[in-house]
Structure 1
Amino acid sequence: MVRPARRTDFADLARVAYDTGFFGESARLYFPDETLFADLWIRPYVPLALPGFVALLEGRVVGSILGAHDEGAYEAAIRRVAPALALRAAFGGYPKLPACLPYLARLARYAVPHASPHAFPAHLHINVLASARGLGLGARLLDAYLDSLRQAGVRGVQLSATRRNEAALRLYESRGFRVHEARVTPLWRPWTGRDETHVVMARSL
């Protein structure tokens, strides 16, 4: 079952994102603070009313797709939540923050590429738990999200992935996404032992 994401899904969205945040596996290896992970990469979507969908299996959230219809709105949402995150960090709300700094520093140094927000204003992130893969849930999530973009009159959408995730790339290509830019990056080298190829994929709607 796939349904629209709700604000009350926040904990489940954070759990699924964290459990798949390292090339489909747990993000704990490179980002030990699960709470900070959720606040950085899930909470900004709350001011946007969580424009996305969740996949349920036996009543449990096992997959999600989140995004924004407009990059400017997403950047504004980040600015709105940033003061609360900074305050929480200042008062020790992220006890494992020091162990996350190596990744955050590398992310700032090795920024991933993006397509033009004018041509492709929307973006998306899709995650499916390992235990729920192979059931077609990723395709159903992606189809639902693309339909919502079309209904909203959005002109194009982009996403970021890596060459390592071959199954995801095949799914995106089957829905009309094409590689807009590919860039070899040392971002992940401390945790994978090698450079990875980031790809930006985009499609018009």
Structure 2
Amino acid sequence: MVIAIRTFTDADRTALRALAPRVGEGSPSGSLWGHPESEAAVYLDPYADLLPDSLWLAFLDGALVGYLAGCPDSAELPSESRRMDRAIREHRLLLRARPVAFFARALADTGWAALRRRPTAGDFADPAWPAHLHINLVPEARGTRAAEELMTHWLQQLRTAGTPGCHLQTLVENTRAVRFFSRMGFTPHGPQPMVPGLRYQGRRVHQLTMVKSL
């Protein structure tokens, strides 16, 4: 079993888009609003288009099995909420049954939280940890050290650039991911608000921000 890590090139685009619907299978965040093309438009395409040198790919015996989409300074990308608004418009998500059900549930969750004066998930910005990442692997690549290799290359890139720190956002309920990030030196930071609209095994889930100083 041979693991290889390198950065994205435009020749990888087709294979990466084909892989994207499979990453995260079985995890609490494996499926969001049920439209893979628009989900990739929010969480993958902007990195390939704007930050290809920070998009790391993992290969197992020559086959693409995962990626780490990184951003050395979160100010370099449009915010997640802006990317989401654009995806809703361009992919006409309000005319699609599964996304509409998700957004309706998200609206109800937001109202529920407002009535109880509870926070909901959102973007994170702090100059101590300006970089961020998303890391995803297909199920058969888990436990192969591909994730560790992706993270090691990404953190070395940040250290070389003199970046002071990195953050990520996962789910409290994604215990496997939390254990992995903890092993890589990330620690929980701040509150753990509900993520409107998202469910795992029929239950609400909660955002977990984790940080690592470099």
Percentage of matched positions with identical amino acids: 25
Query: Per-residue displacement from partner, 1:92-148 (whole Å, max 9, x unpaired)?
Result: xx7973421333452894852454331111100011111111111111111111111
Q: Structure 2 matches for 1:158-197, cutoff 5 A?
A: 158-185=167-194, 187=196, 190-197=199-206
1:9 to 7, 12, 24: 12
AA at the equivalent of 2:172: R
Q: Is the partner of 1:144 in helix, strand or coil?
A: helix
Which consecutive unaligned segments of at least 5 residues does structure 1 have? Answer: none
TM normalised by structure 2 equals 0.76
1:20 to 20, 23, 37: 23
Counterpart-to-counterpart distance in 2, 1:6 and 1:97: 32
Q: Which residue number corresponds to residue 156 of structure 1? A: 165
Counterpart-to-counterpart distance in 1, 2:170 and 2:80: 23
TM normalised by structure 1 equals 0.79
AA at the equivalent of 1:53: W
Q: Which residue number corresponds to residue 67 of structure 1? A: 70
Q: Judging changes above 3 Å, is the alpha-carbon distance between structure 1 residues 189 and 74 closer, same or farther for their aligned structure 2 residues?
A: closer
AA at the equivalent of 1:176: G
Q: Judging changes above 3 Å, is the alpha-carbon distance between structure 1 residues 164 and 82 closer, same or farther for their aligned structure 2 residues?
A: closer
Q: Judging changes above 3 Å, is the alpha-carbon distance between structure 1 residues 98 and 117 closer, same or farther for their aligned structure 2 residues?
A: farther
Query: Per-residue displacement from partner, 1:46-96 (whole Å, max 9, x unpaired)?
Result: 33232121111122210110021111111179969976x577436xxx797
AA at the equivalent of 1:70: D
Moved more, 68-77 or 101-110: 101-110
Q: Which residue number corresponds to residue 101 of structure 1? A: 100
Which consecutive unaligned segments of at least 5 residues does structure 2 have? Answer: 111-118
